[in-house]
Structure 1
Amino acid sequence: MKQSEVIQQLTNKDLKKSLVLSQVLFLLLALVLSLFLFESFFDWFSYFHWKPKEILLYGVASGMIVVFIDIILIHVFPSRYYDDGGINKRIFSSLSFYEIVYVTLIIAIAEELLFRGVIQTTFGYFIASTIFAIVHFRYLKKPILLVSIILVSFFIGYLFELTENLVVTITSHFFIDFLLGLFIRYNGWREE
């Protein structure tokens, strides 16, 4: 059965539950791995720094630039190049503004704690960014989406290398997902 057929069988509520559950699993994995990989369970907390200028410049501004580029590409390439099997469209089209905030915040926190806070600090930039891209496997058969997620993955990993600040990467990740979620929700998705 194709992914798009499976998606059609799920309700919007089921899709949202699956997404939130996957992020809870990422968060739990980050916590469990930190027990084994760090001297102290809370070592990754040392990567949380409240530096407003850094957060605005590297988190907010960079996230907005990524979204701006992505929206241009969405309008340049045919919509079939951005079709991930209907998952993003189904999820974000069914969420309210506040649900988009909640869901994208959970995604940003869980994924950045796991991929930057645990994997990148332990195994390095390249491995963390590569695994992050692979986890988004539904993009593997879509070259534009695949290149996009690889570039974003390495970009966010680079932000962490540059700042060593999880607040920056969480902010950037959140703004990317949040703004694209709003774009999908309120502007719809181009149909050919």
Structure 2
Amino acid sequence: MKKFDIRKLKLRKVTIDQIDDRLLLINLYVTQALTLIIGLIWILFQHRNPLGLLRFPEGIEFLYWGIGLAAIVIIVDLLISRWVPEDATDDGGVNERIFRNRPIWHIIALSFIVAVCEEILFRGALQFAIGPYWTSIIFAAIHVRYLRHWIPTGLVFSISYGLGWIYIQTGTLWAPIIAHFVIDLVMGLIIRFRRES
């Protein structure tokens, strides 16, 4: 039996075009699973109940906050894509690869999974520990594909801060989850149908 030698392990940079669709989806689902696990563990270390964070609120006011923020973000994003050159907002083609050939049900599922996993970590655990400002800086840094250009980096930071703000205003994690879900869903559908036409 051959021995594994870590010194022979080689890392190389891979572009989005070199990754096939299956590997891209596996990467996405694994990262979201890790995000969820880290968020849940962090919440437990804070001596809080993760299920309590996901308790559904009695009123529907949180929906107004979530859908309202999502509408603002989508309008701003559409205006930016209309007036700003595409190379200044390029994410390296990742979003296009994720959404362009996906069936609608899969875009809905992906958007919901990403919204729940990321909001549990960032708003549920991290914001509780360090506040919305520093959480938004980390959120922007985690979305590394946007860091090459200041416009998408600023937009991701602003969206994150907005998600943190509506979480504080409503007191429920469902407000940022709804906003995050609607933003990802609408932008995913725009990519899907824009490429189809």
Give the TM-score normalised by structure 2: 0.87
Structure possessing the higher radius of gyration over alpha carbons? 2
Q: Distance in 2 between matches of 1:10 and 1:71?
A: 28
Residue 13 of structure 1 pairs with residue 22 of structure 2: yes
Is 1:84 matched with 2:91? yes
Normalized per residue, the structure richer in helix is 1
Cross-structure match for 1:112? 119
- Cα gap change, 1:161 to 1:7, in 2 (>3 Å): same
Structure 1 residues 146-165: aligned runs within 5 Å: 146-165=153-172
How far off is 1:47 after superposition? Answer: 5.9
Identity %: 31
Structure 1 outlier segments of 4+, above 6 Å: none
Give structure 2 stretches of 5+ with no counterpart: 1-10
Gaps in structure 1 of 5+ consecutive residues:
none
**How much has 1:46 moved relative to structure 2?**
4.1
The match for 1:136 is 143
Shift of 1:43: 5.1
Equivalents in 2 of 1:14, 1:47: separation in Å? 31
The answer to whether 1:70 aligns with 2:80 is: no
Q: 2:102·2:192 contact (CA, 8 Å) conserved in 1?
A: yes
Aligned residue identity for 1:30: G
Q: What is the aligned-residue RMSD (CA, Å)? A: 2.0
Question: Structure 1's 178 and 52: CA in aligned 2 closer, same or farther, altered over 3 A?
Answer: farther
- For each residue in 1:67-108, what CA deviation from the matched residue of structure 2 results, as whole angstroms up to 9, or x when unmatched? 121111111111112211110111110211010000010000
Q: Which of residues 35, 60, 73 is equivalent to 2:44?
A: 35
1:55 counterpart residue number: 62
CA contact (8 A) 2:111 2:184 kept: yes
Q: Matched residues in 2 for 1:2 and 1:65: separation?
A: 39
Number of equivalences: 186
Q: What do the CA deviations read for 1:96-140 (whole angstroms, capped 9, x no partner)?
A: 101000001000000000001111112222222221111111111
In the TM superposition, what is the alpha-carbon distance from 1:52 to its structure 2 partner? 4.6
Whole-angstrom CA distance in 2 between matches of 1:43 and 1:79? 40
Corresponding position of 1:100: 107
